[in-house]
A = this chain, B = another copy of it.
Amino acid sequence: MNIALDRNISKESLNKMIACFKPEFKDYKAGETIIQFSYEIKNIGIIIKGKARLVGINADGEYIITENYTSRDVFGELFSFPLEGYEYYVEAVEDCQIIYLDYNHTISPCDNVCPHHSQLISNLFYLTAQKSQALTLHLNILNQHTIRKKLLTYLQYIQGKTGEDTFEIPMSLVSLAEYLCVDRSALMREIRLLKKEGILESNRRTFTFL
């Protein structure tokens, strides 16, 4: 298991846990479909390595990208309720390694007096809380009413994380437009204006506040 999920768990404990929970480890190649969402099964997936994303397609063939996942992210029906009329599946963007846990098995009291159980669930709780943080951040940004405010809110967040005056955003401007939910050319225009007004300096993914 990875560092996030095995916080405070020793190697011997780990082996007992694996015996107890029977987690499934799986590998996927970039482009592969990892899992299709169902209304029945409650799989808990945890990304160990690589990148994946959740996409939804409706009857008209319109598709929406709903979430992007990197290592330590949790996913599954439990966390993302599917919208009516969409088919959902998770696909690998890069080569991925993933752990699956079954919700019912994970959550039900352990037959063995298993001290690791509590630790696993508490780690899972922590990962889920982090997911909630990321979603809340995204919502706060989308709640901003103009492209300018969305962009500045995002940039200030990234700058605050790095602490540096000059910083680089962790995605392309194409992806940023998608994340901010705005048209890419409109985003470029806004960046141009901010530069003209002397509010920031930028070159491709690198930004500096003035």
Query: Contacting A135 at CB < 8 Å: which of B109, B136, B153?
Result: B136
Answer whether A80 and B181 are a contact pair too, CB < 8 Å, given A121-B122, A138-B139: no
For A84, the closest partner residue in chain B by CB is B160
Q: Are A136 and B79 in contact (CB under 8 A)?
A: yes
Interface string of A146-169 (1 = CB under 8 A from B): 000000010011011000000000
Q: Tell me the count of chain A residues lying within 8 A, CB to CB, of chain B.
A: 44
Give the distance in Å from the alpha carbon of A73 to the alpha carbon of B142 in the complex: 22
Q: Report the copy number of this chain in the oligomer.
A: 2
Q: What chain B residues lie within 8 Å of A3 (beta carbons)?
A: none
Give the distance in Å from the alpha carbon of A129 to the alpha carbon of B131 in the complex: 9
Answer whether A107 and B79 are a contact pair too, CB < 8 Å, given A136-B66, A145-B181: no
Give the distance in Å from the alpha carbon of A136 to the alpha carbon of B78 in the complex: 11
Stretch in A18-26, A28-36, A112-120, A198-206 with 4+ CB within 8 Å of B = A112-120
Add 18 more A-B contacts to A78-B129, A79-B136 (CB < 8 A).
A66-B139, A66-B140, A67-B136, A81-B136, A83-B137, A83-B140, A83-B153, A83-B157, A107-B122, A109-B118, A109-B119, A121-B121, A125-B125, A135-B139, A138-B139, A139-B139, A142-B142, A142-B181
Which 10 A-B pairs give the minimum distances between C-beta atoms? A84-B160, A135-B135, A118-B118, A125-B125, A80-B136, A79-B132, A81-B133, A128-B128, A142-B142, A78-B129
Give the distance in Å from the alpha carbon of A110 to the alpha carbon of B121 in the complex: 14
